[in-house]
Structure 1
Amino acid sequence: MRIGKVWVRFYKSFNFDYELKATPNAKRLPWQETSAGWMPHISIPLESDVTAIVGANESGKTHLLDAINIVLTGTGLEKRDFCRYSSLFSVEQQSRLYPEVGATMLLSESDSEAVRDLGIPVRNDGSIIMLRPEPGEIDVVGRDEERARLSSNQASGLTALLPFPHWLKTTVALPDSVSITALSGTASRITSRGQRLRLLGLLSGMGTEDQLVKNAGALLQLLDAQEASSPGDQLGQLLLSKVARIDTSSFQELEQAISNGRDGLVNGLIQEMNTSIARHLNISRWWTQDPDFQLRLSPRETELVFTIRDRTGTDYSFTERSRGLTYFLSYYVQLLSHDRPVDRTEVLLMDEPDAYLSASGQQDLLRVLEHHARPDNSERRDQVVYVTHSPFLVNRNAGHRVRVVDKGTRDEGTRLVKDATRNHYEPLRTSLGAYVAETAFIGGENLFVEGIADQVLLAGINARLLRAGAAPSRCLDLNRVTLVACGANVPYMLYLARGRDQIKPACAALLDSDTSGEEAKKQIKRGGAHGKPALSDDLVVMVADWAAREKISAEPGVVIREPEDLVPLSVAVNVARRYAENMVGAPETLTRTLEVSAVREALAEAQGSLWDALAATFRSIFETDMNKAGFAKELVALLDETETASSRPPGVPALDANFANLLEHLAKTLSMARERETERQRDHRLERIIDAFVCDHPTGCVRDTAASTLLRIDAAADDSTSGDVLRAETSRLRRDFKLAVDPLHNIDEYTDFLQRLKSLRLIERLDNQGLIEPAPRPRP
């Protein structure tokens, strides 16, 4: 069972949906009627995996998390939380009311069967709208839009099926140290470093028996003082005992070894504990700021101190590193140590986890949350709902996950900003930033394009394909890849990004196959100040050359030279009509005069350029020019509208197929650029790729993840006999384990796959020993 939509009315900052109430001809639902008339609930849809709640301070974001918790648990519904600027807020007898929260619950097959057995009414679509009007009561809304109160048996049965809410504590950091006594479970009257220091300070001032007798009361008081274990201390204990799986007897043995001065045994135990932490925590998979990062233990007299070893091989205490790392570790350990219910789904709730994390740390946490919602080593699917102020904790590949809330004026209360999702949020915020060109220097992966229209098209259609279930490896990861619009300055921008420093970001370029694009390619090849090409030829994608290799079919009369030529003519005409209506203000009677036949006739004079033909026809009808970026924006908006249509309009399937091929090629090109930079900076790349995969996915993973790893291995392979054999073996792995089929499904016979993957590391060694025969070359 999952939450499809949350319903809130009169709860804290949420009053009612005043926008819906003011909408002409809005449908009044009987179950939303009150003594003061129709007051519709505010509805907030949730995604099936991850939902980000964004809003200003005091906009009601946290109140939404509280409402979800009340819906799922039935606890916390209080009259004192009734919205104070509601007209129904009262302090008089018989007039004080409860706020109301509820949810639309989406049922699995087993849920539906259990609900039928309980006799609970469901909607026509098989879902349930359940409401909590007051403590201990549950109402459901039937097909007739009327409320029905559940019996106690029905209510308890439904409650047992609801997802389990789990709050992640975002204000608790991992502690600097953990008491060995607490870990070993042995009795001790001194359990913390603070108590020990106070005891030593007290004893150091006692030089005589009289002083001892005089301070006996203070001494006994100190010994009897029991310091409560803090949430941070408990988290540290969970890390070692539950996540790292270190047995209690090991801590007992360590405590005795320290007491007896057996330093060799102490060092041996600590070394094994550190090995266990590294194996089970696997933090290097998620903390991208330092791939060599290690969390380690150092023994003291009564504590185990957490230290950090970075890429320099130096150990630091927590106090010597940023707070962000300790909070990231806290969030990660909380997720690992938490036991999810096996018989129902879970909703993870987080309130502003970005407070202590850097931009990179937030991106790392975002990947952890994605994995928590959809683990790649199991079929489990849970929901994550978090509140954030930060753009770095928003997945730019999935703008549809964002929910923006805003508090209106006077008695309006918190509302859902309905026009801040999908098309209006993504890709325009990403694509039209004020300092687009400067993003070339962030040091990640960069795709250089000629114009803003290319940014909008690629980002918008990329997000659309991901929402439709395309494999992530076949699309651009916009959390890592920056689309850099350069106009006619692509060669110079590439030189600035890559031509002057030792550490170079991975880059590729997409150029139109026109005069300016061909000239840009020549300039890139000639290089910058030192005559060295900023990119190799295979990292410069010319649209016409790519289309010819991939055998992309175009409209009759259209010659593919730029991304706009991939848009079918019927779709392009509809987009131009939208542009005329929205940007020019043309009436529908005039926009209808822009017809496909007129654009097709103009193709010959435009030398096969769809854009030139469309723009010329547009100018002849509306006596003004059409902007490429505006056209791209309207195209993305039109495609978003087709997602909810019962069938896709003519031309849209072909458009999706064309851009899916282009995006897959760009993703592979950037992957190749990334691996080349890694190869240039590090040796033993093949072993590193395989070892990282085995460490990150010891028990299973989805096929798409494995396919992406094999692509990285292909890019890392040398131009040699062993490289040819290596690529042949990766092809066999793809075929034998059907990695191209159902990419989001788990790999069958995973143990066999891992064994064959590990054996790839031996190919170069066998080639060096002369044991590999060169592959026969194809006949001319």
Structure 2
Amino acid sequence: MKIKTLYVRFYKSFNYDYLRKSHPKAVPDEWDRLPESGLFYPFVRVSMESGITTVVGANESGKSQLLGAIKCLLTGENIERRDFCRYSQFFTVGGEMKKPEFGGEFTDLSKEQVAAVRSIASLGDSVKVETFHFFRMNTGTVLYVKNGKDWSEVKVKAADIKSLGLPTFFLIDANTPLPDSVPLAYLTATDKAKKARPRAKMLRWIENMVTNPDWFGSKETIDKAAPQLIEDYTAFNAVDEIDDEHLMQRLELAEKLLVQVAGIGKDAFEQLKTAVRNHDGYANGIVKRMNEDLAKALNFPKWWSQDSEFSLALTLRDFDLVFTVRDRTGSEYAFSERSGGMSYFLSYFVQYLSHVPTGGQEILLMDEPDAYLSMLGQQDLLRIFDSFAEPEDKLVRPIQVVYVTHSPFLIDKNHSERIRVLEKGDGEEGTRLVANAGRNHYEPLRSAFGAFVAETTFISNCNLMLEGQADQVLLAGVSSLARRSESKGATLNLNSLSLVPSGSAEHIPYMVYLARGRDVDTPAVVVLLDGDREADGIRTELKKGYRDKKYVDDEFVIQSSDIDVADVTVATDAVREIEDLIPIDLVLLAIRHYATEVLSPEDAAQIATTVTAVPVAAGQKVFKAAEAACKAAGTTLRLDKVGFARAVLHCLEHEADKDLRAVTIGNFEQLFTRIDRAQRQAVRSNGRERVRRTLNRYKDSFLRDHPTSALRRDVEGLLEDIEHQLTEVTDETERVRKDMRLIRKDFDLAAEPGAILENYDEFRERLEALPYGGVQAVQGS
């Protein structure tokens, strides 16, 4: 069972659906009228995806409150009068104060749940039950189920609610990172000891010292008692810290990681504590095995894309297990030396791995996990959400995911259908759901995020420069639909490719310059141009370069005319622009739909009857032919490219038949294949450029400081600095690391760090050659 639609009324910023109430043709649902007066006050309705739903909106728009509404619906708990919408006209102190009301439409029912619904509603076996509506009202709990054309309305008792088997929810806590360390005393203690007050611990510690005066009788007795004193003091300090509830939660998370995820038994911690107390080397063996189990259980490189060699390890420090991380440089760091985002991501990851399914349907709720994560970290978190919604193990029940975010990087741009934008109106209007926000590229998403498109330009792995916004709408929309269809062909990964509309073809050279001509570290860029004469001129200009410098190689400039018409089903003799990939039957559907959006019903009906064909002349573009067809029919319709593109996407998803949809997607897949290939090559090329720039910058700086000689430690410091900058794992960076290992070996850098490096001229030659060894490693790739 899953939630298909959430209904909220009079809850905090959710008052009622004021737009639907004011619509002259609105038809109330059975549950939308107030029982006391019969007045129409419709619930705010928020549809839910069966997999992942992404909730966005400005501050105070009600995003987090939506998660609260889901909890109230599923549990019936914490539905308080104090949460009644305070600017509602029904918020009063003159009579009995009301409570907020919640409802849900539930689908994907099991046989047992269908039987329970039939029993509660007294329906016969012949009545088809696919969904039901369940509401927690001020007048009681009510079940609504369709009985033919009518609704059956039944008040539900508490025992019957249990028989329905409503989903349960669980949370991934976005505000609790893993701790830097966890005391062995904590891992071995009982729950009662863990929660002991620090004052009591301190008194017991002092009492222990007072009752053992022999501990301080001689040096020998002090040495013998020292481990016990350290252990007791560590335990005291740990409990002193975990008296803070937040730190207690962090230690509980660490325990989950070690016990539930890594599968380390409690006895291992007891044995480790004893070994430390006895100064036994056995302790190192235990920690080594713990680290092996931890690495195997986490398989962290699969999820942390920023470093494929990243690992989490345990280091023993007195009676504490300290969490450390190792990266591709082979260096080891404490948590405090790394970014806070990494420890928060680890927290989310541990909570994901340690989650134990209840056996019934579950919903994961998460509130603003973006606060602590970098752009790439947020992209990695999306993969964790995907693993909940679509687990690799088909025996594991998929979990619905609903999360709230402020960040454009936690939007899966390949799935715009997941997005729900909340907007808060004025006065008593309250929060409403903005319809079709994800498909309107990109308003009101831009308002929800501040500047959705502008602020994400030039920061992805690769940027695709487009002539206009209509290109952006078509590429994003068709790619997203193709991912959701049965097609297995090429699509665009919109999470790693930013679509950047330039306004027109003439602006593209300047946009390329903005992306690649103003900074040391530049993003990869691919350019998509039309196949007309103007675009040919722009391509020539890009070959020459902007301000006499070339910023994009010709192999990364694609024109629509590169597509062979023999490989697509089109009405033109060449693909001169993206719209030429749209079949004529879909063009006709889009014209009619666009007319219903911008014209009166009478004029739109005229379009439907008069524009019955779109003839395409030799050398003509499809969009120009569509404009000409509207004009020839004597209509007043003026086609706008962006509006037409949106209409194409609407018709492709909702009106086109299966064959027409397959032809359209197949046409666009030819273009997606070319873009995808150019993107991969551009990212590789850009990575090689960045490595060479880094190496040359460090090399030049070092040789300026050390023109004729250097100490071994200076050379070692240089190599370490370079290693820390090689953040990607590629053939080139691996070759550079190999060459640096040979330099260390050949010049014996580990011996006598304070000595002057011998054969400095030879070293200088090796250093000069370092940037080019990587190029040779990838030559021809």
* TM-score class normalised by the smaller sequence: 0.7 to 0.9
Match among 640, 648, 657 for residue 648 of structure 1: 657
Deviations 1:295-321 (A, max 9, x none): 222211121111222333332222233
TM-score normalised by structure 2 residue count: 0.73
Q: CA separation in 2, counterparts of 1:81 and 1:469?
A: 45
TM-score normalised by structure 1 residue count: 0.73
Match of 1:458 in 2: 475
Match of 1:385 in 2: 402
Q: Which runs of 5+ in 2 are unaligned?
A: 217-232, 692-729, 733-781
Deviations 1:518-545 (A, max 9, x none): 44445556678999894364x4433233
Do the aligned partners of 1:190 and 1:223 also contact (CA within 8 Å) in 2?
A: no
Q: CA separation in 2, counterparts of 1:464 and 1:429?
A: 22
Q: CA separation in 1, counterparts of 2:444 and 2:580?
A: 20
Match among 35, 52, 55 for residue 53 of structure 1: 55
Match among 249, 261, 278 for residue 260 of structure 1: 278
Do the aligned partners of 1:181 and 1:187 also contact (CA within 8 Å) in 2?
A: no
Match of 1:712 in 2: none
Do the aligned partners of 1:400 and 1:422 also contact (CA within 8 Å) in 2?
A: yes
Q: CA separation in 2, counterparts of 1:105 and 1:187?
A: 39
Match of 1:103 in 2: 104
Specify the SS of the correspondent of 2:506.
Answer: coil
Match of 2:528 in 1: 510
Match of 2:675 in 1: 666
Question: How far did residue 104 of structure 1 move?
Answer: 0.4
Bigger mean CA deviation after superposition, 481-490 or 493-502? 493-502
Do the aligned partners of 1:573 and 1:594 also contact (CA within 8 Å) in 2?
A: no
Q: Once superposed, what is the RMSD of the aligned Cα atoms? A: 4.5
Match of 2:491 in 1: 475
Letter in 2 for 1:386: Y
Question: How far did residue 424 of structure 1 move?
Answer: 5.2
Bigger mean CA deviation after superposition, 365-374 or 489-498? 489-498
Do the aligned partners of 2:364 and 2:400 also contact (CA within 8 Å) in 1?
A: yes
- Distance 1:23-1:341 versus aligned 2 partners, 3 A rule: same
Letter in 2 for 1:248: K
Specify the SS of the correspondent of 2:77.
Answer: coil
Specify the SS of the correspondent of 1:355.
Answer: helix
Letter in 1 for 2:106: M
Is 1:36 aligned to 2:37, yes or no?
A: yes
Identity of aligned residues (%): 37
Deviations 1:532-587 (A, max 9, x none): 894364x4433233234x611212x5432221111223433554566677669894
Letter in 2 for 1:464: L
Q: CA separation in 2, counterparts of 1:28 and 1:545?
A: 54
Do the aligned partners of 1:17 and 1:40 also contact (CA within 8 Å) in 2?
A: yes
Is 1:149 aligned to 2:155, yes or no?
A: yes
Question: How far did residue 406 of structure 1 move?
Answer: 2.7
Bigger mean CA deviation after superposition, 179-188 or 64-73? 179-188
Do the aligned partners of 2:325 and 2:332 also contact (CA within 8 Å) in 1?
A: yes
Letter in 1 for 2:32: Q
Is 1:269 aligned to 2:290, yes or no?
A: no
Letter in 2 for 1:17: D
Question: How far did residue 162 of structure 1 move?
Answer: 1.9
Deviations 1:431-465 (A, max 9, x none): x9979789664261222333333222211222232
Match of 2:361 in 1: 345
Match of 2:173 in 1: 169
Letter in 1 for 2:188: S
Match of 2:700 in 1: none
Letter in 1 for 2:83: D
Deviations 1:463-521 (A, max 9, x none): 232343555x7211111101233423556755775689886644433332223434444
Q: CA separation in 1, counterparts of 2:690 and 2:286?
A: 36
Match among 250, 254, 261 for residue 232 of structure 1: 250
Letter in 2 for 1:84: R
Question: How far did residue 165 of structure 1 move?
Answer: 0.5
Q: CA separation in 1, counterparts of 2:17 and 2:445?
A: 27
Match of 1:139 in 2: 143
- Distance 1:516-1:164 versus aligned 2 partners, 3 A rule: same
Match among 260, 266, 279 for residue 248 of structure 1: 266
Specify the SS of the correspondent of 1:13.
Answer: coil
Specify the SS of the correspondent of 2:665.
Answer: helix
Q: CA separation in 1, counterparts of 2:132 and 2:362?
A: 18
Letter in 1 for 2:375: A
Question: How far did residue 135 of structure 1 move?
Answer: 10
Q: Which runs of 5+ in 1 are unaligned?
A: 213-218, 683-714, 718-780
Deviations 1:376-396 (A, max 9, x none): 343532111112222222222
Specify the SS of the correspondent of 1:235.
Answer: helix
- Distance 1:14-1:98 versus aligned 2 partners, 3 A rule: same
Bigger mean CA deviation after superposition, 108-117 or 410-419? 108-117
Is 1:6 aligned to 2:6, yes or no?
A: yes
Mapping 1:172-571, distance limit 5 Å: 172-185=176-189, 228=243, 230-262=248-280, 264-342=281-359, 344-378=360-394, 380-418=397-435, 420-423=437-440, 425=442, 429=446, 441-442=458-459, 444-468=461-485, 470-471=487-488, 474-486=490-502, 487-488=505-506, 490=508, 505-522=523-540, 534-535=552-553, 537=555, 539-548=556-565, 551-555=567-571, 558-571=573-586
Do the aligned partners of 1:9 and 1:99 also contact (CA within 8 Å) in 2?
A: yes
Do the aligned partners of 1:362 and 1:393 also contact (CA within 8 Å) in 2?
A: yes
Question: How far did residue 128 of structure 1 move?
Answer: 0.8
Deviations 1:15-47 (A, max 9, x none): 222322221132133433321323222211111
Specify the SS of the correspondent of 2:423.
Answer: strand
Bigger mean CA deviation after superposition, 96-105 or 122-131? 122-131
Specify the SS of the correspondent of 2:343.
Answer: helix
Q: CA separation in 2, counterparts of 1:2 and 1:191?
A: 38
Question: How far did residue 120 of structure 1 move?
Answer: 4.2
- Distance 1:404-1:610 versus aligned 2 partners, 3 A rule: closer
Specify the SS of the correspondent of 2:663.
Answer: helix
Do the aligned partners of 1:141 and 1:147 also contact (CA within 8 Å) in 2?
A: yes
- Distance 1:584-1:371 versus aligned 2 partners, 3 A rule: same
Question: How far did residue 48 of structure 1 move?
Answer: 0.8
Match of 1:637 in 2: 647
